[in-house]
């Protein structure tokens, strides 16, 4: 680490702490310095030295950087730069001061409270908004890139301190001319958030990401992933065969309109599912705002602050009564 800090210091980067660590790479919080005391907080994603020497992993990392370079959207973590030092590749990215959706879910479990339904729908709607942009992205000649994220799960969704919801980690995404994990040979994605197409090793399109969004919405509403089993084989079997429940019967606090959205999102035949992220986004926003003023980034930010406060165990109750600190009374839908 000391050697790494020294090398990055020569590039005017200061690595301050490890944010996340995986088998093939590490993400650091850092400061990028420039002239005139310029300083910018960034995230630095570094591929491990041993994997940098393997052409397949190196190409995947470079491919991810190329893919996300022009994805500039408020609901997607932005990538600034791809670099290489002493044979190791790194990306500098937007630093998100906040928590992962996985943390958000675990905090509710720890404090024994349910996530408010409109908060859940709002978060997933913002993910759909980012996906809609990515799915429709074209290259400079106007040719659709055909981007599919393929790994939409709570660990890859961030909630910033300001309430922005951001999708990150396109490391196993696919696109026209950029295909890192060959479909039909391997299963790309986290097992309990796969679409049926992924579980069957079929060629995917953007609709695969929408099945994952439905899984996340159901998990936010139920505090559990309905497909997750004791092992990956059983989990995939559930994704392919488990009877999709009536969510309102499972929890009578779930609005029937949300159940309708989930039923459509969970269609195993992708031709019967939402056909675009825009369609799913519209359905969620009609639920959220069809009868009045609903959640916003600022409201989500205040809710997260309340959730992590000393009296966070009562955050959901305060939200339901319109008494979340920092907010005036709000209209429930």
Residues marked as catalytic: 151
Q: Can you point out the beta strands (E) in the chain?
A: 13-21, 25-33, 39-47, 79-85, 88-94, 98-100, 157-160, 165-167, 174-175, 178-179
Sorted by sequence, the CB contacts under 8 Å of residue 214 that are 6+ apart come out as 261, 262, 265, 266
- The torsion of the CA quartet 293, 126, 303, 170, rounded to 10 degrees, works out to 180
**144 beta partners:** 138
Contact present, 275 and 208 (Cβ < 8 Å)? no
For residues 147 and 64, what is the distance between their CA atoms, to the nearest angstrom? 11
The one-character DSSP state at 312 is G
Please identify which residue in the block is written with the tokens 């370079």.
69
CA-based torsion, 293, 295, 301, 306: positive or negative? positive
For residues 299 and 229, what is the distance between their CA atoms, to the nearest angstrom? 34
For residues 294 and 278, what is the distance between their CA atoms, to the nearest angstrom? 19
Contact present, 262 and 255 (Cβ < 8 Å)? no
- Continuous H helices in 141-255: 196-199, 207-222, 232-241, 247-250
Please identify which residue in the block is written with the tokens 């084989």.
233
Q: Are strands 98-100 and 88-94 parallel, antiparallel or unpaired?
A: unpaired
For residues 269 and 244, what is the distance between their CA atoms, to the nearest angstrom? 13
Residue 126 burial (CB < 10 Å; 0-12/13-18/19+)? buried
């Amino acid at each position: 680490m000391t050697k790494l800090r020294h090398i990055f210091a020569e590039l005017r980067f200061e690595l301050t702490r490890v944010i996340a660590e995986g088998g093939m790479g590490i993400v650091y919080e850092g400061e990028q310095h420039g002239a005139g005391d310029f300083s910018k907080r960034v995230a630095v994603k570094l591929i491990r030295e041993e994997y940098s020497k393997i052409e397949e992993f190196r190409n995947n990392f470079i491919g991810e950087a190329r893919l996300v370079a022009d994805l500039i959207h408020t609901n997607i973590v932005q990538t600034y730069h791809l670099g290489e030092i002493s044979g190791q590749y790194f990306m500098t990215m937007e630093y998100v001061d906040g928590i992962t959706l996985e943390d958000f879910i675990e905090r509710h479990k720890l404090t024994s409270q349910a996530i408010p339904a409109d908060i859940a729908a709002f978060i997933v709607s913002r993910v759909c908004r980012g996906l809609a942009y990515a799915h429709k992205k074209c290259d400079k000649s106007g040719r659709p890139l055909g981007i599919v994220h393929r790994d939409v799960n709570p660990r890859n969704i961030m909630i910033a301190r300001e309430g922005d919801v951001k999708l990150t980690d396109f490391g196993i995404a696919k696109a026209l001319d950029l295909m890192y994990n060959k479909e039909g040979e391997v299963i790309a994605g986290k097992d309990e958030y796969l679409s049926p197409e992924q579980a069957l090793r079929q060629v995917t399109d953007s609709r695969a990401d929408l099945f994952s969004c439905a899984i996340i919405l159901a998990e936010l509403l139920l505090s559990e992933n309905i497909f997750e089993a004791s092992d990956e084989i059983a989990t995939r079997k559930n994704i392919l065969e488990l009877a999709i429940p009536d969510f309102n019967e499972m929890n009578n606090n779930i609005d029937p309109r949300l159940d309708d959205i989930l039923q459509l999102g969970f269609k195993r035949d992708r031709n019967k599912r939402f056909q675009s992220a825009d369609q799913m986004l519209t359905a969620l926003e009609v639920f959220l705002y069809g009868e009045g003023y609903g959640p916003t980034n600022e409201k989500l930010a205040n809710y997260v602050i309340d959730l992590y406060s000393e009296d966070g165990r009562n955050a959901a109750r305060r939200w339901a009564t319109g008494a979340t600190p920092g907010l005036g009374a709000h209209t429930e839908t």
